Amino acid sequence: MHKFIAQSSDNGRKLIKYIGSLFKKLPEGRIYRLFRQKSIKVNNKRITDSNYVVKTGDEIIIYGIKDEPSFVIYDNSWKLDSEIVYEDDNILLINKKAGTIVHGDSNCLDNQVFSYFKFRQNSAFRPSHVGRLDKWTSGLIMYAKNYQTLTELNHKTEFLDKIYVLKSDYNPHDEIVSVYIHHDELQQKMVATKNMQHPNDKIAKTRFFKKDNKLYAQLFTGRKHQIRATLEYLGYPIYGDSKYGSKTKGTKRVYLHCYKLKFNNLERSLEYLNGKEFECKEEW
């Protein structure tokens, strides 16, 4: 028998997803069988509906599983070495340093955030980044602190205005550049073209403008490496971006920084964020 108390970060999850997150090695078919066998109780009532929506404080008891839950205790020595720009009950905004990997390394930003929260996976939800910045791109990145927030943000395609500051020889007045973008397997990078060349090509639309002698890019779509690939296509790669055509020497970083975020069109529990803007200055 295993007993759990649903945390506030679990609120709104389907029960089958909640259980699957706690027992990661357990096949989904086995979990469905537990429902059919009436082996799951919530608040002392047997539950057969796998789509039951978990609420904060629910007492969940599971019978018939010998596996141990996939609890993870994160190393508190992973110190968050990037500045916190804003935090509330739902989101965390961080000014990520250039050179920090968001995910996949032992001291990646994800693990630093888990350590900052003194996070122990006693809930089925882990704080999750919304969007991602490349290793050598610095600036604002957001984490959702609970399941409802993550779901709301993932279902809203135009909730966030993102503006980047960068260094390049490109000198636009104020223009929107539209290209088609695809992943080139041979070059192992994204490639931008004027016309659609592959069935899976995606439109990438970026506004470029200058202000106070600085070059900015505003995303209207969210394609991988969109700004980098577009500027290589235009013939003005970002300084330091050797992967996308830069010949700049003597630098270890890509001069691209997510400088501004503005929230729009959010509803329900996140409506309070609408109109809020957050900025962090580039450090170069």
Mean pLDDT of 221-234: 95
* Predicted confidence (pLDDT) at residue 156 exceeds the cutoff of 90: no
**256 vs 126 pLDDT, higher one:** 256
- Comparing 14-18, 70-74, 263-267, the range with the smallest average pLDDT is 70-74
pLDDT at 277 over 90: yes
* pLDDT above 90: residue 49: yes
Ordered by start, the domain boundaries in the chain are 2-62, 83-162+260-279, 168-254
CA 86 to chain centre: 16
pLDDT per residue as tens digits for the range 90-131:
999 999 999 999 988 878 999 899 888 876 555 667 789 998
For residue 249, pLDDT over 80 is answered with no
3.10.290.10, 3.40.50.720, 3.10.310.30, 3.60.9.10: CATH of 2-62:
3.10.290.10
Asked if residue 183 has pLDDT above 60, the reply is yes
pLDDT of the residue at 55: 92
pLDDT of residue 234 exceeding 90: yes
Nearest-angstrom CA–CA distance, 176 and 161: 15
Q: How many CB atoms lie within 10 A of CB 5?
A: 12
pLDDT confidence of residue 122: 54
Q: Domain 83-162+260-279: which topology?
A: Pseudouridine synthase (3.30.2350)
Determine how β-strand 138-144 pairs with β-strand 256-263: parallel
Provide the residue count of the chain: 284
CATH code for the part of the protein at 168-254? 3.30.2350.10
Q: Which pLDDT value is given to residue 119?
A: 63
pLDDT at 71 exceeding the cut of 70: no
Q: Which residues are catalytic?
A: 134
Identify which of 94, 32, 111, 91 has the alpha carbon closest to the alpha carbon of residue 64: 32
pLDDT band for position 231 (cuts 50, 70, 90): very high
pLDDT tens for 193-216 read 999 988 889 999 999 999 999 999
Average pLDDT value for the chain: 90
- Distance CA(215)–CA(237), nearest Å, equals 12
Fold match between 83-162+260-279 and 168-254? Answer: yes
